[in-house]
Amino acid sequence: MSFYQVLVFIHVFSAIIGMGPGFILTTVVKSGDNMTELRHSYAIRHRLHIYVMIGGTLLLLTGLLMGLMNPSLFQMGWYVTSLVLFLAALAIGPLVLTPRSKPIKAMLASHKGEDIPQEYRRLSKELFFYENVENIIFIIIIALMITKPF
């Protein structure tokens, strides 16, 4: 097995172990009928997100290393488009998702009682919308990776 093949191997495993849990981060917190259950859902989501961070970092590192080993990749449309989309998805995290998840976390920490407040529904709807945008970006990247169309 060449070093390049080792990188492809790590890359594909990172895609499965990192992106798999990533696609269900929204689904996980959709379950919960009271505040105790909802807090538990967010705790599970927090743990799953660790896989996404490790997998995502490995995807970028191995992807860039493959590009360094085979610079002609930088002339491939699918490679450059994926790289740009991936960096955009990375930036959406702190720029778009964090400001929208902060008030939710504060509410989970401070809210008294078991009823889920109406304000949570409004805040989460907006957060989930942008999480779906992220998911669509990752689906496009995966499709580009598999089909390498241009």
* Contacting residues toward ligand HEM, per CB under 6 A: 8, 11-12, 15, 19, 59-60, 63-64, 66-67, 73, 79, 82-83, 86, 138, 141-142, 145-146
Residues whose CB is less than 8 angstroms from the CB of residue 95 and which lie 6 or more positions away in sequence, other chains included: none
CB closer to ligand HEM out of 73 and 97: 73
CB closer to ligand HEM out of 73 and 96: 73
**DSSP run (H or E) holding 121:** helix 118-147
Whole-number minimum distance, CB 25 to ligand HEM, in Å? 14
> How many residues are there in the chain?
150
CB closer to ligand HEM out of 96 and 107: 96
Whole-number minimum distance, CB 74 to ligand HEM, in Å? 10
Maximum Cα–Cα distance across the chain:
59
Whole-number minimum distance, CB 128 to ligand HEM, in Å? 19
Whole-number minimum distance, CB 142 to ligand HEM, in Å? 5
Distance set, CA 6 to CA 1, 2, 36, 66, 97 (Å):
7, 6, 44, 10, 33
Are 29 and 38 within 8 A, CB to CB?
Answer: yes
CB closer to ligand HEM out of 108 and 145: 145
